[in-house]
Amino acid sequence: MENILDKTERVLRLRNYSPKTRKAYLLYIKEYLIFSKKANIKNKQKAIEEFLLDKHKRSQSPQTVNLALNAVKFFYSEVLKNPQKIDLKFAKRNKKLPVVLSRMEIEKVINATDNAKYRLMISLGYACGLRVSEVVSLKVADLDIDELVVHLKNAKGKKDRISVLPKKLQNDLRNIIAGKKVEDYLFVSNRGGELTTTSLQKMFRKSLAKSGINKPATFHSLRHSFATHLLENGTDVRYVQELLGHANIRTTQIYTQVTNPSLKNIKSPL
């Protein structure tokens, strides 16, 4: 098994998959190999079906089931070069609306963050609609402070995009880049290395709790709030799509359900 997993990792690296995706694929492929061997199912299609059904029985999310299916498909087609098609459809995903914080709640979370570095990171997450991984990966060269633009390099899906910077943060950004080289990370740990996404997520949860907001929000909720508030301000959904880096407009359109002005204008009959 170790040999086949090593071969799989080499193929994933050659295809330039992200470290996060490589880790997930290797985990699910290893799980599948152990499961199919233990179940002693010779038919490939049947083995995959039982593997995914087992995940359903253990109440794993549709997103997890779909990621596992993608991993197994990659294993057969790209590593084993098996031409036989895997005739399985993806699990139906839950249609949950994103958790969105109001402008006042965003302000409360930012003000509840005592550490200036993390306060700026949380502010940028909301102000630019960034993922947590994008915030910690920012480099000095990515910022055009005078033009109020941030360049996201090699973001999710290996795509570059630009987003807006708020004028309100110009001075804070100039202060943090002072004395740094263009290739330096914008935010560094106390030891001088790149900050982890875990540390930023942990700080966000701490600030959220301190602010007294009772919503199941995560750092990603800042990105949801960015999109929702832009739409509320009248920004065209296609511009919001570009700022978020969504490949499909339907992904962006979920926010139009959160901020539907026609529904909000309806008064309850009570």
Please say if the pLDDT value at position 119 is more than 90. Answer: yes
Active-site annotation holds for 205: no
Q: pLDDT tens across 33-64, in order?
A: 999 989 888 888 899 999 999 998 998 888 89
Strand ordering across the sheet containing 143-144: 143-144, 149-155, 159-164
Q: pLDDT tens across 100-111, in order?
A: 999 999 999 999
Tokens 């930023």: give the residue. 200
What does the pLDDT average to over 70-88?
Answer: 88
Q: pLDDT tens across 211-242, in order?
A: 999 999 999 999 999 999 999 888 999 999 99
At the top level of CATH, which class does the domain 103-261 belong to? mainly alpha
Measure Cα distances from 94 to 60, 69, 98, 171, 260 in Å.
Answer: 12, 17, 11, 42, 20
DSSP letter for each residue of 164-213 = E--GGGHHHHHHHHTT--TTSBSSB-TTSSBPPHHHHHHHHHHHHHHHT-
* Predicted local distance difference test score (pLDDT) of residue 61: 86
* Residue 108: CB atoms within 10 Å: 17
CA distance 147 to 214: 37
* Predicted local distance difference test score (pLDDT) of residue 197: 92
* Predicted local distance difference test score (pLDDT) of residue 260: 66
As annotated, the residues of the chain forming the CATH 1.10.150.130 domain(s) are 2-79
pTM of the entire predicted model: 0.75
As annotated, the residues of the chain forming the CATH 1.10.443.10 domain(s) are 103-261
What does the pLDDT average to over 156-164?
Answer: 83
Q: Which of 55, 117, 119, 131 is catalytic?
A: 131
Q: What angle do the packed helices 197-211 and 116-128 form, to 10 degrees?
A: 90
Active-site annotation holds for 56: no
Q: Which of 25, 28, 32, 255 is catalytic?
A: 255
* Predicted local distance difference test score (pLDDT) of residue 94: 64
* Predicted local distance difference test score (pLDDT) of residue 83: 82
Please say if the pLDDT value at position 20 is more than 90. Answer: no
Task: Give the list of residues 6+ apart from residue 110 with CB closer than 8 angstroms, or none.
Answer: 119, 122, 123, 126, 207
- Average pLDDT of the chain to the nearest whole number: 90
What backbone phi and psi angles, to 5 degrees, belong to 188?
Answer: -125, 160
Active-site annotation holds for 131: yes
pLDDT band at 189 (very low <50, low <70, confident <90, very high): confident
Q: Which of 22, 151, 156, 210 is catalytic?
A: 156
* Predicted local distance difference test score (pLDDT) of residue 23: 93
Q: Residue 51 belongs to what H/E stretch?
A: helix 44-57
Please say if the pLDDT value at position 154 is more than 80. Answer: no
- The answer to whether the CB of 223 falls within 8 A of the CB of 130 is yes
Most confident residue range from 62-66, 94-98, 200-204? 200-204
Please say if the pLDDT value at position 141 is more than 80. Answer: yes
Q: Which of 55, 117, 224, 246 is catalytic?
A: 246
Q: Which of 55, 117, 119, 223 is catalytic?
A: 223
Fold observed for domain 2-79: DNA polymerase; domain 1 (1.10.150)
150 forms beta bridges with 143, 163
Report how far apart the first and last C-alpha atoms of the chain are (Å, whole number). Answer: 64
- The answer to whether the CB of 93 falls within 8 A of the CB of 66 is yes
Please say if the pLDDT value at position 159 is more than 90. Answer: no
Cα 190 to its chain centre, rounded Å, is 25
- The answer to whether the CB of 187 falls within 8 A of the CB of 121 is yes
